[in-house]
Amino acid sequence: MSEERLARIRERLQRAFAPSRLELIDDSAQHRGHAGARGGAGHYRLLIRAEALRGLSRLEQHRAVYAALAEWIPGEIHALSIDAGAD
């Protein structure tokens, strides 16, 4: 399930932002036993660089990423650490 979920998240981010760089790391194993992890939702770290994020404040960049992934929060994504920006 985890690899399938990662692939879906990457695909959504690719479609939403056409990033020049995209790294998505699943940190879920480090959070076993955590309340959010018990239900099967994952913990992820994201590094994304995209022209679509240029000129946006850090808050706006994060909101854009969260909006792209909204249907999976909090059901499949419990925590998401974001490092976003333009090239």
pTM over 0.85: yes
CA-closest candidate to residue 26, choices 49, 46, 48, 50: 46
The Cα-based distances of 71 to 2, 12, 36, 83 in angstroms read: 17, 11, 16, 20
Mean pLDDT across the chain:
90
How much is the pLDDT for 55?
Answer: 97
Q: Which of 47, 22, 26, 48 is nearest to 37 (CA)?
A: 26
